[in-house]
Amino acid sequence: MAYSPLTEQLMEALQVLPGVGSRSAERMTLHLLERDREGGQMLSQALQRALDGVMHCARCRVLTEQAVCELCQNDDRDHSRLCVVETPQDREAIEVSGGYLGDYFVLQGHLSPIDGIGPDELGVPLLLERVKSGDIEEVILATNASMEGEATAHYLTEQLQPLKVVVSRIARGIPVGSEFGRIDSHSLSQALQDRKPLGFEHD
Ligand code: ZN
């Protein structure tokens, strides 16, 4: 069955979305054109406005309508510390935890040569430039504890070490309130490896 040329074009365009194949695109197209043209207008306008107005923050790479995002502009933050995360969601999770008041750098992914994602795609040159500018004393690598996250952290450590900056990796391990029996053995062994000495204060 053939659809009209513009209908076909819309079906094809929708397939740029991740996880949307020809069947889903067909369903979405027919829904918009047959059942919800108002919704379609809203979608089309929101998409165009976002494409025109949203860019990457020049300092942390998060999506923003400003050249530099609000968090990076906030002078109550400790701009000498930079926490490197994979995604804006990771940044949000750390923010919600309330335990960190420094700046962030969002890679928007991790190293994945198979998918063509290398240092340039992750903004590594911008990160190194920012560290070289001299205001940063510590870079905290908070990439995921997955294999790709570890590989990315390892690569960044190699790049950052010559720059006379403290490079640290977040400790991983046992979630607060959990029992040993319920933790996977990898997390448990990481927790043991990343142990910290308990400081007894002697006056
Ligand atoms: Zn920013």
CA of 28 to the centre of ligand 1 (A): 35
Number of domains in the chain: 2
- The predicted model scores a pTM of 0.76
Beta-bridge partners for 166: 138
What pLDDT, in 10s, does the model give residues 187-199? 777 777 777 777 6
Task: Report residue 87 as tokens.
Answer: 């995604």
CA of 44 to the centre of ligand 1 (A): 27
- Let me know if residue 178 belongs to a domain: yes
CA of 127 to the centre of ligand 1 (A): 12
Residue bearing tokens 């390892």: 154
- Residues present in the chain in total: 203
**Residues, beta carbon < 5 Å, ion ligand 1:** 57, 59-60, 69, 72
Closest CA to 127 of 88, 95, 159, 79: 159
Q: Are 60 and 81 in contact (CB under 8 A)?
A: no
Residues 120 and 174 in one domain: yes
- Let me know if residue 163 belongs to a domain: yes
CA of 64 to the centre of ligand 1 (A): 8
Q: What is the pLDDT of residue 135?
A: 85
| DSSP type of residue 39 | H
- Let me know if residue 11 belongs to a domain: yes
- Let me know if residue 170 belongs to a domain: yes
- Let me know if residue 62 belongs to a domain: no
Residues 106 and 165 in one domain: yes
Q: How far apart are CA 185 and CA 112, in angstroms?
A: 26
Give me the domain span that covers residue 86: 74-197
Burial 43-52 (b: 16+ CB within 10 A, else e): eeeeeeeeee
What pLDDT, in 10s, does the model give residues 143-196? 988 899 999 999 999 999 999 899 998 877 777 777 767 777 777 777 777 777
- Let me know if residue 65 belongs to a domain: no
- Let me know if residue 63 belongs to a domain: no
What pLDDT, in 10s, does the model give residues 23-61? 999 999 999 999 999 999 999 999 999 999 999 999 999
Residues 108 and 45 in one domain: no
Residues 47 and 81 in one domain: no
Q: Which residue intervals of the chain are DSSP H helices?
A: 5-14, 22-30, 37-53, 70-73, 88-97, 124-132, 147-160, 185-193
Assign 141 to helix, strand or coil.
strand
